[in-house]
Amino acid sequence: MTDASAVKIQQIDAYRWRIPRQGQMRVDGLVFASPTLMRAIREDQSLQQVANVAQLPGIVDHSIAMPDIHWGYGFPIGGVAAFDEHEGVISPGGIGYDINCGVRLLGSGLSRADVAGHMRELVDSLFRNIPSGVGSHRKDLRLSETELKQVLKRGAGWAVAQGYGSARDLQHIEEGGCLQSAQPDMVSARALERGRSQLGSLGSGNHFVEVDYVAEVYDEQVANALGLFLDQIAITIHTGSRGLGYQVCDDYLKVMQHATARYGISIPDRQLCCAPLSSPEAHEYIGAMYSAANFAFANRQLITHWVRETFEQVLERPPRDLQIDVIYDVCHNIGKFETHVVDGQSRRLCVHRKGATRALPPGHPQIPEIYRHLGQPVLIPGDMGRYSYVLIGTQQGGAETFASSCHGAGRMLSRTQAKKSARGRPIVRELEDRGIFVRSAGRATLMEEIPEAYKDVREVVDVVAGAGISKKVAQLRPMGVIKG
C-alpha cells in the first residue's frame, strides 16, 4: 500500500477536501472533515483507500468519505461509493462483514423522573432479557431452517407477524424493515447455521442497548414531529446481522476473488474484489446480502420487543403508559439500488455505504409520511460515556453525498491501548459516578469501550452539520448501557 502522505489532498472549504484524480482514479475523492479531524485521518491509510475505491469501474461522481472515516478492509469505514447500474460493480468489502449493522431509536412517554431510582434494575433486567456477548441466545427462540428462511425473506415483518411489535413499527424502519429482493436460497448452509441460534442477540464489541435521555434539542419543530422532547427517555439499539452476515460476507469475498479475475477487473487491493452489477455473481451476492440485512432488521425488532417487556416489568406500567415507539431504524453497512440525480440526470445507482448512514432529503417518498416534509432521521451513536445525536437529512446531502451522512464516533485508541489505559480502573464505578449504569458480558468489553477510546462524536456531527449534509435535531445522553 502507498504511504498515506503520498495521496494529494486539497482543502475546498472549512469542511470539504478533494483528492484530485491521479493515477488510475476514475473520479475525484471527496472527504468531509475539519482540519483537526483531517490530521487524525491522515495518520492511517484511509485516504489511500478513498483513492483506491475511485479506481473501480462505473463509479459515479465522487468516492466519498465521512468525517468518521478510518481504515477498513479495502474500502474505508465511513465511505460512500455509488456505481452505475450497467457499467458499475458491487463489492462485499464496500458493505462490510456486519451486513446491516445499524441503529434503532425508540422514543417513550417517560421523563427522567419516571425512571429515577429504577435505573440499576432496568439495566440488570435488560441485560438478563437481551442475550448479549459471545455465544448468547434466547432459549425460547429456536428456528427451523424453513422459519429462518422466512426471517431472511421478510425481515422485521416476520418478527411483527410472530407478535414481536406492531405494524406501526415497520413504517418507521428504513425500507420498512424488509429488502424485497432478498433471496434466502443464495445464503450458504454455513451462514444459515451460524445465524440460526443468534437471532435476537446483541453480539459483542461495540454493540449495545442504551437507555438515554434527551439532553438538548436543537430544532424544536423537527424534534416535536419525531416525538422527541427534553428530558424524555429514549432507547438506542445498535446491532446487526451477527454470524449470518459475517459468513455471507466471507463466502462472497471468495466468490468475488474469482469474479474479479474472470471479468478482468483490475483492482489495487485484493480486498476490493468485486463483480459487474450485471453478472450472476453480483445477482447472487445481492440476494444473500439483502437476506442478511433482513435478518438484522428482524434482530433489532426482537430486541425492541424485549426492551418494551423489560420496561413494563420493572416500572410495572402498561404499554399505553410507556409509549415505547420506534422513531427510526437505519442501516450503516449496506449496498442498495437507489435513484439519484447526477449532473441533472436521474440515474439508478448501486450505493455502497460502509460505516455511513442514509440521509434522505425532505419530501423523499421513502420517508414515513409523518416526517416526510422534514427529511429522514439519522441516528449517530457516540461512546457510552458522552452523548449520541439525532440528525435529519437535507437537500444538500441529497444532492452531494447520494443522501448519506456519518455513522458514529470512530475509535481513537486501539483495543489494546484502551485496555492498557483502563487497567486497574473501576470503570463501572467511574461511569456510575457520572450517572451511567453499565453491564457487560465480556470481561474486556468495558475496558475496550471506555469513552476516551473514541473520538468525540460532536466533532464528527459538527462537520456534517457545518457542511449542510445533515442537520442537528437533538442530543441524547446515556443513563444505562448494556454491552456484549
So which residues are the catalytic ones? 407
* Site map (CB under 8 A) of other proteins, residues 216-255, x = contact: ---------------------------x--xx-xx--x--
Q: Does 97 bind other proteins (CB under 8 A)?
A: yes
Q: Give min distance, CB of 143 to other proteins, in A.
A: 14
| Residue given cell 451522512 in the structure block | 405
- Which C-beta is closer to other proteins: that of 222 or that of 249? 249
Closest contact distance (angstroms) between CB of 453 and other proteins is 10
Q: How far is the CB of 150 from other proteins (least distance, A)?
A: 20
Contact string 260-299 vs other proteins (x = CB under 8 A)? ----------xx----------------------------
Can residue 76 be called a binding residue for other proteins (CB under 8 A)?
no
Q: Which is nearer to other proteins, 107 or 131 (CB)?
A: 131
Figure out which of the listed residues 58, 67, 72, 94 binds other proteins, where binding follows CB under 8 A: 72
Q: Which is nearer to other proteins, 2 or 417 (CB)?
A: 417
Q: How many residues bind other proteins (CB under 8 A)?
A: 41
Q: Does 42 bind other proteins (CB under 8 A)?
A: no
Taking the complex as a whole, the smallest distance from the CB of residue 42 to other proteins amounts, in Å, to 14
Q: Which is nearer to other proteins, 71 or 263 (CB)?
A: 71
Q: Which of 73, 75, 213, 306 binds other proteins (CB under 8 A)?
A: 73
| Of the residues 85, 124, 193, 459, which one makes contact with other proteins according to CB under 8 A | 193
Q: Under rule CB under 8 A, which residues in 414-453 are in contact with other proteins?
A: 414-417, 419, 441-444, 447
Footprint of other proteins (CB under 8 A): 44, 70-73, 77, 97-98, 133-135, 190, 193-194, 196-198, 203-205, 243, 246-247, 249-250, 253, 270-271, 411, 413-417, 419, 441-444, 447, 484
